[in-house]
A and B are shown apart, each in its own frame.
Chain A
Amino acid sequence: MKKPVLEVNQLQTHFFTDRGEVPAVDNVSFEIHSGEVLGVVGESGCGKSVTSLSVMGLIPKPPGKIVGGEILFRPQQDEGEKEENLVKVSKKRMRQIRGNQIAMIFQEPMTSLDPLYKIGYQIIEGVRNHRAVSKKEGRQIAIDMLKLVGIPRAEEIVDEYPHQLSGGMRQRVMIAIAMACDPEVLIADEPTTALDVTIQAQILELMKKLNREKGTAIMMITHDLGVVAEMCDRVVVMYAGKVVEQGDVRTILKSPKHPYTQGLIRSLPKMGKRESRLYSIPGNVPKPGSIKNGCRFAARCPAVFDRCYQENPELIEMKEGHACRCFLYDSKEAEVSHV
């Protein structure tokens, strides 16, 4: 098997604020293979967006800083290039990679396009930065990209401004910008959260098509487990800056092991059947950095015991490709509970 196109190892991104150092991303590791869709799931404040910004080299510093770990990028298209650690590369090199080989779709289609520039210009801007393309060729590329993402009247839309488009159309333009350089890795940060369900279905369909046809690896950041089931091959579940569980999509959604993942899935209202009462996880999502010792989920966990408050659990391999950060599955604890 080929090595993963993107490998994140023990990534630590901290923010230095007036109230002290906040570990927004705390020893996060995962990998994405070419042609794969990886879901990153978690609630607000769990560090999923900071993780993606770290990969893109877009963490505002100060106050943010990557204080540890590595982000290994292995382009697979050109044989000549070898792996690079994105934490270490120069700003200039990062600019060459960003938008070209690793691209990102941002969450808010309403605010992430520049209202003063025409759609066509915004699509070509990245292409012209990375490749020698004339204006005329660029325009053609923009039109082709708009057609690819299913925008009607592409020849006219290139000369229009963002305010002339609806939310769904703008999100398509965002995807067109991200796909224009044919990236190897596409990071999509809640790409459909701001959209209606019928439009969301269109956008997801489009992303699936691009993934299938071009083999682009997609890192899909979302809080919607329905979207995960629809799109992803593997899932990483994050809670308070840590990966608490990871595995293939079927395992995570059908037989989750971590109490948090279990609670998250059980607390969803189901379309198919109507339950009398929803399960709910008690308490609130902790503020980043507020829990120093022990498992971050301990205070809300239904299966908590003393050790959870004192020690940090490690990720434990359950079976191949499925890992869970919980003492319940620690072999030492298993012996104790059997006694």
Chain B
Amino acid sequence: MSKPLLEVKGLKKYFDVTGGVFSKKVGEVKAVDDVSFTVYEKEVLGIVGESGCGKSTTGKALLRLTEPTEGEVKFAGKDIISLSDEEMRKMRRDMQIIFQDPYASLNPRHKIEKILGEPLLVHGIGSKKERREKVERILEIVGLPGEAAQRYPHQFSGGQRQRIGIARALIVNPKLIVCDEPVSALDVSIQSQILNLMEDLQEEFGLTYVFIAHDLSVVRHISDRVGVMYLGRMVELADNEELYENPMHPYTRSLLSAVPDPDPDKITERVILEGDVPSPSNPPSGCAFHTRCPEAMDICKQVRPEFTEKSVNHFVACHLYDDDVKDRSQIK
């Protein structure tokens, strides 16, 4: 197996909730609550979960775009949490991000040339002429004509804008790209174009992706390994094939069964979850999923399950797989 590029240990991000006249802290939202995982070189790690599960916050915390409350993030063996702002800025040359909304993430007043040239300028790469050439080359790589550089964002469609967003991340030659829902705002026929482009680029430039999405079939397509998040916690992490064929956590199972299949002949046995996702400002005790879990036991309400390796490369946080719960027939 290849070397680890990014190691995350015990990552936490709490947002303060303030209230009252003096905006005193009255509570906190545990957006990311003790998440650990490793991303290996040249792999695609997919992170899936429903809205509010903390997947986007995790992505941003990896780049310190939002400052993590606690935890360790190591990039290429270097602890990036302790870096100064200036050192971090330099570091970001190797770690880039693609945002979800291709309409909101490009400045409407700047020409594409300026949008794409800015990362180069920030990192002091090349002369003015070299930068211009680089912009043209990168546009070609993502499948846009060179003259696109002289146009404004509003002159492009959603799919084309997302190509520009990809070009902007790619232009500084990064090692790692965090992709935060890069295709969820796009139409189906455009979505597949962008996914193919991202795969081509990964191969060509030896990129590593952290691919955040809520669409399970998209993640299935692009990822090597997949992590599932629920209420700020990673509940399961395994190889792509293993996770989709042999999901262990009850949440993963119900999530997979909830996806409607476009094949009318396929009758899926559906586990329909009751109720809504609880609020992360007041997460349930013990296992956060116990309020909706069809297989909840007494222990789930009290003790938070450890995130441990239950079979080779298959991590789960669930009491069902504790050693002392051997006889599974007793559960019900």
Residue ranges of A at the interface with B (Cβ–Cβ < 8 Å): 43-44, 166-169, 196-202, 204-205, 223-230, 249-250, 253-254, 263-265, 267-272, 274-275, 277-282, 284-285
Of all chain B residues, which has the CB nearest A201?
A: B258
A-B contact sample (18 more), CB < 8 A, given A204-B260, A224-B260: A166-B277, A196-B277, A197-B214, A197-B259, A198-B273, A225-B188, A225-B262, A230-B260, A250-B264, A254-B264, A254-B265, A267-B191, A269-B221, A269-B222, A271-B216, A275-B221, A278-B195, A284-B157
Nearest-Cβ distance from residue B100 to partner chain A, whole angstroms? 14
B92 at the interface (CB under 8 A from A): no
Query: Are A226 and B188 in contact, CB atoms less than 8 angstroms apart?
Result: no
The one of B192, B221, B254 that contacts A198, using a Cβ cutoff of 8 Å:
B254
How far, in whole Å, are A107 and B270 apart by their CA atoms in the complex?
25
Of all chain B residues, which has the CB nearest A199?
A: B276
A-B contact list, 5 entries, CB within 8 Å: A169-B276, A197-B214, A198-B255, A278-B192, A281-B192
Flag B11-54 by CB within 8 Å of A: 1 or 0 each: 00000000000000000000000000000000000000011000
Residue ranges of B at the interface with A (Cβ–Cβ < 8 Å): 50-51, 157, 159-160, 187-193, 195-196, 199, 214, 216-218, 220-222, 240-241, 244, 254-256, 258-266, 270, 272-273, 276-277
How far, in whole Å, are A202 and B276 apart by their CA atoms in the complex?
10
Query: Are B261 and A198 in contact, CB atoms less than 8 angstroms apart?
Result: no
Nearest-Cβ distance from residue B228 to partner chain A, whole angstroms? 12
How far, in whole Å, are A166 and B217 apart by their CA atoms in the complex?
25
Q: Which 7 A-B pairs have the closest CB atoms?
A: A226-B260, A269-B221, A267-B192, A196-B50, A280-B192, A43-B187, A225-B262
Query: Are B196 and A277 in contact, CB atoms less than 8 angstroms apart?
Result: yes
How far, in whole Å, are A167 and B159 apart by their CA atoms in the complex?
27
Known: A197-B259, A198-B273, A205-B272. A269 touches B195 (CB 8 A): yes
Query: Are A280 and B187 in contact, CB atoms less than 8 angstroms apart?
Result: no
A residues less than 8 Å from B277 (CB atoms): 166, 196
How far, in whole Å, are A285 and B188 apart by their CA atoms in the complex?
11
Nearest-Cβ distance from residue A282 to partner chain B, whole angstroms? 8
Of all chain B residues, which has the CB nearest A248?
A: B264
Query: Are B157 and A223 in contact, CB atoms less than 8 angstroms apart?
Result: no
Query: Are A227 and B260 in contact, CB atoms less than 8 angstroms apart?
Result: yes
Nearest-Cβ distance from residue B244 to partner chain A, whole angstroms? 7
Of all chain A residues, which has the CB nearest B214?
A: A196
Query: Are B263 and A229 in contact, CB atoms less than 8 angstroms apart?
Result: yes
B residues less than 8 Å from A204 (CB atoms): 260
Nearest-Cβ distance from residue A240 to partner chain B, whole angstroms? 12
Query: Are A271 and B259 in contact, CB atoms less than 8 angstroms apart?
Result: yes
The one of A44, A268, A277, A279 that contacts B199, using a Cβ cutoff of 8 Å:
A277
Query: Are A166 and B262 in contact, CB atoms less than 8 angstroms apart?
Result: no
Known: A198-B273, A280-B189, A280-B193. A269 touches B262 (CB 8 A): no
A residues less than 8 Å from B276 (CB atoms): 166, 168-169, 199
Known: A196-B214, A269-B195. A43 touches B188 (CB 8 A): yes
B residues less than 8 Å from A169 (CB atoms): 276
Query: Are B196 and A280 in contact, CB atoms less than 8 angstroms apart?
Result: yes
Known: A229-B264, A250-B264, A253-B263. A279 touches B192 (CB 8 A): yes
A residues less than 8 Å from B199 (CB atoms): 277
Query: Are A284 and B160 in contact, CB atoms less than 8 angstroms apart?
Result: yes
Query: Are B218 and A269 in contact, CB atoms less than 8 angstroms apart?
Result: yes
Query: Are A226 and B157 in contact, CB atoms less than 8 angstroms apart?
Result: no
How far, in whole Å, are A198 and B272 apart by their CA atoms in the complex?
7
Query: Are A196 and B51 in contact, CB atoms less than 8 angstroms apart?
Result: yes
Query: Are A267 and B189 in contact, CB atoms less than 8 angstroms apart?
Result: yes
A residues less than 8 Å from B50 (CB atoms): 196-199
The one of B216, B217, B222 that contacts A268, using a Cβ cutoff of 8 Å:
B217
How far, in whole Å, are A226 and B256 apart by their CA atoms in the complex?
13
How far, in whole Å, are A205 and B276 apart by their CA atoms in the complex?
15
B residues less than 8 Å from A271 (CB atoms): 216-217, 220, 244, 256, 259, 261
Nearest-Cβ distance from residue A213 to partner chain B, whole angstroms? 18
